[in-house]
A and B are shown apart, each in its own frame.
Chain A
Amino acid sequence: MSERSLRGKAAIIGVGETKYYKRGQSPDTEFKLALEAILTACEDAGISPKEIEGFSAFSNESSNPNRMATALGLPELKFSAMAWSGGGGGGSAAAASAAAGIAGGMADVVVVFRSLTQGAQRLGGAGYAGSVSTDAHYRTSYGVISPAQQYVMRVVRYMHDHGIGQEALRAIAMASYHHAQTNPDAVMYGKPLTAEAYDASRWIVEPFHLYDCCMENDGAAAYVMVSAERAKTAKRKPVYLLGAAQGSEFRNQAAALNAPLLGSAGFTTVAPRLYEMAKVRPQDLDVIQVYENFTGGVLLAMAEHGLFKPEEANAVLTLENLTVGGRLPLNTSGGNLAHCYMHGMEHHIEAVRQLRGEARNQVAGAKRALVVSGPMVSPTSSMILGSEEAL
């Protein structure tokens, strides 16, 4: 029996983004933004938008594939997929679904996309459930309402268990801001973050300062995925999916924070499957993109992906190690904290640019990139992308 794997079966051949706005400042609707990102991705790929055969998205994406196919005048829609999960947990799973659809012969050209406008419905606010959650009645009367308030208990326990200090979180925040200063497309371009400013910033919920929490933005991002066969003749350098995994641990979302393994971002079972499919080891990775809902989630997710042992976190998580030229270049476009909170899609696109060799903050010779989607939400997902040399 042949090995069942997505490794090398599909490739990203074009990426597209709208301008990224501060929350509530987009003049356009989510649908119009999505359309613009998709058209831009097709132009980058050198294909006609009429060649799109399917769509894959995640979270509470509102731009549905019927209207998109109608607006683009697609001759035929062959594939649509939606990854379950609140927040950004489904990002890599959306890529995996697209690749699975392609590998399974259902479609040859699938667009992965996300569009967001947060003027009306703020993801960080009180009205957002934060996940596929039904336990609000055990939390909200005690003031455990927003995503930060829900997830921080996991981080507090983890930092307690492993003796991890505030400086580790600060380094993660500063790495994103550092990279955004050389990315003119970043929302926080021209707004550097010093250690002093981080320390002096207000608490949201301890140990999360203001800068430990993601922005809320408007915009859209998309990319075109095709079969490996078709990628051979692509205009741009193809970036291959080496592996992807989605999931959740045993009773991870048991109500009222009753997950047996509470101090977890949810990757303890996902990461081993990811590395197995990708045939990659943690030390083979050249660049790391980890979804920052909160810096604490990045800490847990990096450790669970084997990038360091929890007891090494204080030593490893330094600005020097986490920036380009360091041991673990992290969120090299500025990520959710300082580039744009596009539900992690800006991480996917940055990974593609790194592997094409055209990133603003290029890691020299990058061949393998890790993309980790929403930590601490469930089901969550992660993937490894690679250049042709990594196949």
Chain B
Amino acid sequence: MSDAPAPRVSTTHYLPGAPAPVRPEPELDAPYWEGTRRHRLLVQRCRQCRTWQWGPEWICHNCLSADLAWTEISQEGVIYSYERVWHPVSPALKEQTPYVAVLVELPEAGGIRMIGNLLGDSKAEVRIGDKVRAVFEPHDEGEEPYTLVQWERV
């Protein structure tokens, strides 16, 4: 990744008031969350059969090996699906609608997908297939700081 462009970082929060991630099995995906703090995207790839895997599991779903490597991947992807949300189910998001969430496919990492928000005008047309790149959104306040991964059109 030495020739990759510098990671993009956002100084604002796209959805102020959205809940912080509550990880049910922190041991399972610590490298991913630690990676986002350093503006890196790390996902699992099997050392034995080279299968990409996301979300994380304890073993490779293809060959069942536990020999999984946390592998840094490209921060560019394409929009695979999306949604524009108008009805906030959380009162904290009442002032944020409409907002757009995207499902981004990462072709250079075996076509795995990540959920994030699409930065920019939330009422603009969203097109499946459009290219996007990651934007890291640090949440440094609170006892357990974390960094979200958002997306912007290339």
A interface residue numbers (CB < 8 A to B): 124-126, 134-146, 148-149, 152-154, 156-157, 160, 202-206, 251, 254-258, 262
Residues of A contacting B113 with CB < 8 Å?
256-258, 262
B13–chain A nearest beta-carbon distance, Å: 10
Q: Which residues of B (35-88) have their CB < 8 Å from a CB of A?
A: 54-56, 61, 80-88
Contact B81 A157 (CB under 8 A): yes
Q: Which residue of B lies closest to A127 (CB)?
A: B89
Contact B81 A205 (CB under 8 A): no
Residues of A contacting B93 with CB < 8 Å?
143
Asked if A141 meets B55 with Cβ closer than 8 Å, knowing A153-B83, A262-B80, the reply is no
Contact A143 B55 (CB under 8 A): no
Residues of B contacting A142 with CB < 8 Å?
15, 18, 101, 115-117, 148
B interface residue numbers (CB < 8 A to A): 15, 18-25, 54-56, 61, 80-90, 93, 96, 98-99, 101, 103, 112-117, 128, 148
Q: Which residue of B lies closest to A158 (CB)?
A: B81
Asked if A205 meets B85 with Cβ closer than 8 Å, knowing A139-B115, A142-B101, A160-B128, the reply is yes
Task: Give me 17 A-to-B residue pairs in the complex whose CB atoms sit less than 8 angstroms apart, sorted by A's number.
Answer: A135-B55, A137-B21, A137-B22, A137-B23, A141-B148, A143-B88, A143-B96, A143-B99, A145-B19, A149-B89, A152-B83, A154-B81, A156-B81, A202-B86, A254-B55, A255-B56, A262-B103
Contact A140 B18 (CB under 8 A): yes
Contact B23 A149 (CB under 8 A): no
Residues of A contacting B99 with CB < 8 Å?
143
Docked Cα-Cα span, A126 to B90, in Å, equals 6
Docked Cα-Cα span, A143 to B93, in Å, equals 8
Residues of B contacting A139 with CB < 8 Å?
115
Docked Cα-Cα span, A156 to B127, in Å, equals 11
